[in-house]
Amino acid sequence: MKRQTFFAFAAPSITVMTLLMVIPLGMAIWLGMHFMTFDNILAPQFTGLDNYASVLSDARFWQSFQFTALYVVVMVPSWIILGFLMALVLDQVTGFIRGLYLSIYLLPFIIVPVVGAIMFKQLFEASGPMNYLYAEIFDARFRYNETTVKTLIMLYGVWYVTPFSLVVYFAGLQTLPGELLEAASIDGATSMQKIRHIVIPHVSSLTLFISLFSIMDAYRVFDSVFVFSELNPTYRANTLMTYTFQTGIQLERLGRANAMAIITVISIMIVLIPNLYLSYKEQMAER
């Protein structure tokens, strides 16, 4: 394909991405240098790097960062391990049963995240079964507090994202080299040995893919935290995204929120840049 044709075909998409992604990102850096509320949004007051400095020295910002980091560290391994195990188990059945279970497992993944979180919350309402179970086990009333809200956010995270890694691993298992497994069986390898020495190496590229994408998705978690914590500061369950939202929309400090978003963008670069470099080399080699 000629260069000209390429640009003619890609033009609409490139235009949209330039106008609505590249330029807004630049705008966010610029707007972050202003004192801006809903009242003076079209004539913000220039304050230089003040917003950036004050965000970096804001204790609540670092608290949000901590919880976001904790969320990433707990969630990513859970998604990978549980997804892989369930994919192995699902691979053991065939036909109608397989389709049925796969459909059931897909439901949390495609459900509206806000709605899924509300459904979780329903289980813990005064009349909900989890509330009842909690009272039976711990002999105390279930209350929303820092620990329970954070636990709920994590439980919901497992519920909502595991189907993604499950399906990806499941698809990967369908491409396993059959001869290699047969040869291993003839040599007397146990199932455990086969999983350890054939299956896990075979899906390692998928593991890399899942971990990279889930790190970045976990890093920007918003919807479930919004529903469970209702942005109530006593739960200390703010993530970087909810704290930015709260600063910008609830407290009307839009300039500061833009600065916060930019700092978040810069911090994710640590994970992102090596990944981008790898993809770049891969694409250059492929073309």
By C-beta, is 63 or 207 nearer to other proteins? 207
Q: Of 237, 246, 248, 253, which one interacts with other proteins (CB under 8 A)?
A: 248
Separation between Cα atoms, residue 180 and residue 201, nearest integer Å: 13
Q: Of 49, 81, 180, 276, which one interacts with other proteins (CB under 8 A)?
A: 276
**50 is a contact residue toward other proteins (CB under 8 A):** no
The distance of closest approach from Cβ of residue 268 to other proteins in the complex, given in angstroms and rounded to an integer, is 7
Question: From residue 255, how far is each of 21, 60, 63, 265 by CA, in Å?
Answer: 18, 17, 20, 15
The full 3-state SS of 136-199, as one line of letters, equals HHHCCCCCCCHHHHHHHHHHHHHHHHHHHHHHHHHHHHCCCCHHHHHHHHHCCCCHHHHHHHHH
**180 is a contact residue toward other proteins (CB under 8 A):** no
Inter-residue contact 75 to 157 (CB < 8 Å): yes
DSSP 61: H
The count of residues interacting with other proteins (CB under 8 A) is 110
Interactions with other proteins, residue window 9-48 (CB under 8 A): 9-10, 12-14, 16-17, 19-21, 23-25, 27-28, 31, 41-42
Interactions with other proteins, residue window 99-158 (CB under 8 A): 99, 101-108, 110-116, 118-123, 125-129, 131-132
How distant is the alpha carbon of residue 113 from its chain centre?
12
Tokens describing residue 117: 């979180």
DSSP 234: G
Strand partners, 35: 45
Interface with other proteins by CB under 8 A: which range of 45-53, 55-63, 69-77, 172-180?
172-180
The distance of closest approach from Cβ of residue 16 to other proteins in the complex, given in angstroms and rounded to an integer, is 5
Q: Of 43, 140, 186, 284, which one interacts with other proteins (CB under 8 A)?
A: 284
Q: Of 49, 89, 183, 251, which one interacts with other proteins (CB under 8 A)?
A: 89
